[in-house]
Structure 1
Amino acid sequence: MSAPVATFKTNSQSCSVQDVTLKCDKLWTMGQQEAINRLSVPEKSVFSKSTKMVLVSDFGARAARIAAAYAEFYLERGEDGKPDLKGRFYWMGLAAFASKQVKCGLDFIPAEPYLTIGVPPIGQPPLRIGKKGLGKGNFWLFQDIFVWHWFYKKHPQQFDECAPVRNAKSCDAQVQMNIDQLPWADEALPVLKNLALTPDVKKGFERIKESESTSDPATKRNLQLKSLLAIADHEQRRILQPLIYNEFFFQATLKAQAAFEWAPFVPVRVAAFSTACDVDDKELRVQMDKGNLYSESDRMEFIGKIAAQYHKLMGFKKDYMEEQIETIATWNNAV
């Protein structure tokens, strides 16, 4: 990107170097802009030679990039990655598969103008509602959870101090404008309390920290699962439930989908541990066969089964699982 993320005044003496520890608000600013950058591409102006960054417009491509970002975190990629600690961001591995599944749902629904042209009028409203709900939830979950992980990975010594003061409405002015212009920002930020710390996030990262210092394999696996479940509680109960699952029309759409799940070309409520949208191998898939996705209790039961199967596969089929995550990590430039 040609322009800096933000400009911070750190030293008043020109032509000199001074080490300065950035305060929490500056670090959160940088993390939030990084989350935006991961979903953006350069666009040249028609009337000048300047280039600006714009969000990838296709919801499915966004979901692919989000899945890739999660996969990279699990794999400890990047300059701040610690390969010897691979697996500490355990939720991220599962989230890579989950965002892949969201991509499948989004890709199933035609984009405009093909939706208007190819789908009978009666079928268009629920598809639009479904696409918007999936796209909004996936996008804002990423804006929240990616930055928590980004901060912990880059600034672990400052995480405990800075976590309580995270606020998506108190970033540096240049980045604040970018945040406020994000899709659904006016709606999402108040509902999500400006991406503030929750007890589940605190608990999840405490378990991550504990897992980093233990050498006992069984203890480490237990801590990995505990961190995953805590962050899943945050993801599902604090982010997705109030943001999308409480919406009446989205609930109606999910109810209709479940009612016709048996019909051809209707996507099933499934989590597949593969780069494919679904697989025949029962060991690599978990399907929701009762209840409603919009019901927090029903969905958490489903999430619990998915987490248990993920944990099981990470135990005896780890090479296969990480191969799939490696492939998902290559989707970081999807458009």
Structure 2
Amino acid sequence: MQKCDNPRCPVCYPNWKEEEAAAKKRAEEDKQDCIDCWRFYQKKAEAIVSVDDPIARNRSINAAYAQLWWDDRRFQWAGLAAFASKQVGCGLLNAAEMIGKSASDSVANLRKVASVGPAAWMTAYGAQSAVSAATAESGAKVYQMLAKGNTSLFLDVWPLHMFYKKFGLARLKRCLPERKLLRSSVLWPIENSVPFAEERPQILSAFSAIDSGRIADGVKDLAIHEQINILQPAMYNDPTFALLMRANQFAWALHIPTGSAREIQLAFANQCTVTGANAKNERFSKEPLANLADPQQRMTFVLRAAQRFDQLLHDPLKKYDVENSLYLIAHAR
């Protein structure tokens, strides 16, 4: 007898209740398995960033990104991220230097107070003291924002790569909606500006591109997710941080001797900067009014850097220098 179209017909499907209950149980178990797998990789990511010192933590993040690329060359975004995160570490070092310099100036000012008296010191050194305080405050703000953005981005993207690497694209698609159920139970420093595990179209499109061998498309989608979905609201929408980035660019481009202004660039090496006609780096801009906080200007820079990285990886000679740098970064050297 041909069965009817009603799956709950007691004649055609006498065991429909049991089968429906079993299917529901399987779905619940699969959902829980997704949650457990996400939790596993989030906790592994948390272990990597558990170092209290942001500079040491940055080196751990750089190494984890570089190791992703070494383990699977399809993860080209991770190789690029290793260099970009290393550059963040350079920014942390510069900000720490600014803070240290202002602290030294404060000690010197205290000595001057003792020698000339408070009233004379205020008259002679008040302006200098204000500059030192501003330097300390600026350095502390940049240090805090760079560390927070660096950590948060890693907590978002590294588990995505690890999940895809272990389970593949189909399971990533099936389990991605369950990741947000970990909210409030995982480390997420930017919860006030970016909800944890917000579903974004660039995530699945990126890993779909990677899965089909369209590596450049995968890099582009992950770069958009990284810069627009995570870092823009977490860092660049902060008006003070955006202003400090503009001040740095203005001072560097016009050679104003601040002692702290640095060129914004991405060096494809394990050093902070590289020089020379054949330097393997990508510059943000030489224009004094260029604005790193502007998403369009920053994305132009990031995609240009991604293209340069791809070219270097396919160069018969230069690729060895880049690979060696990633090896050193992966081993935290």
Give the shorter-chain TM-score range: 0.7 to 0.9
Give the structure 2 partner of residue 137 of structure 1.
Answer: 149
Match of 1:230 among 206, 221, 225: 221
Q: Does 2:89 align with 1:103?
A: yes
Query: Which of 229-238 and 114-123 deviates more?
Result: 114-123
1:241 aligns with 2:236: no
The CA deviation at 1:113 is 7.8
CA RMSD of aligned residues (A): 2.1
Match of 1:125 among 137, 140, 143: 137
Partner of 2:41: 31
Deviation string, structure 1 residues 223-266 (Cα, Å, up to 9, x no partner): 11111011000000000001110001111111111111134542
Contact 1:32–1:143 (CA under 8 A) maintained in structure 2: yes
For residue 287 of structure 1, what is the aligned residue in structure 2? 283
CA contact (8 A) 1:189 1:195 kept: no
Does 2:181 align with 1:161?
no
Contact 2:35 2:181 in 1 (8 A): no
The percent identity for this pair of structures is 28
Partners of 2:244 and 2:99 lie apart in 1 by 21
Q: Does the 8 A contact of 1:274 with 1:324 survive in 2?
A: yes
Q: How many residues align?
A: 267
Instruction: Determine the C-alpha separation between the residues in 2 that align with 1:97 and 1:328.
Output: 8
The Cα offsets for residues 256-288 of structure 1, whole Å up to 9 and x where unpaired, read as 111111345421101101101001134401112
Measured after TM superposition, the shift of residue 128 of structure 1 is: 1.0
- Provide TM-score, normalisation by structure 1: 0.75
Could you tell me how far 1:203 is from its partner in structure 2? 0.8
Alpha-carbon distance in structure 1 between the residues aligned to 2:293 and 2:99:
28
Q: SS at the partner of 2:266?
A: strand
After TM superposition, give the deviation of residue 164 of structure 1 in Å: 2.4
- Whether 1:87 and 2:73 are equivalent positions in the alignment is yes
Task: Tell me which residue corresponds to 1:329.
Answer: 330
Name the amino acid aligned to 1:294.
A
SS in 2 for 1:286: strand
With over 3 angstroms needed to count, the CA separation of the structure-2 counterparts of 1:191 and 1:168, relative to structure 1, is farther
SS in structure 1 of the partner of residue 221 of structure 2:
helix
TM-score by length of 2: 0.75
1:170 Cα deviation from its structure 2 partner = 4.5
C-alpha displacement of 1:100: 0.5
2:66 to 61, 64, 71: 71
Match of 2:16 in 1: none
Distance 2:139 2:98 in 1: 11
C-alpha displacement at 1:114, in angstroms? 3.4
Highest RCO, 1 vs 2 (Cα 8 Å, sep ≥ 6): 1
Aligned AA (2:215): Q
Given that 1:201 and 1:230 are in contact with CA atoms closer than 8 Å, whether structure 2 keeps it comes out as: yes
Determine which structure has the larger helix proportion and give its number.
2
Deviation at 1:196, TM superposition (A): 2.3
Query: Residue deviations 1:296-315, cap 9 Å, x none?
Result: 01111111211111111111
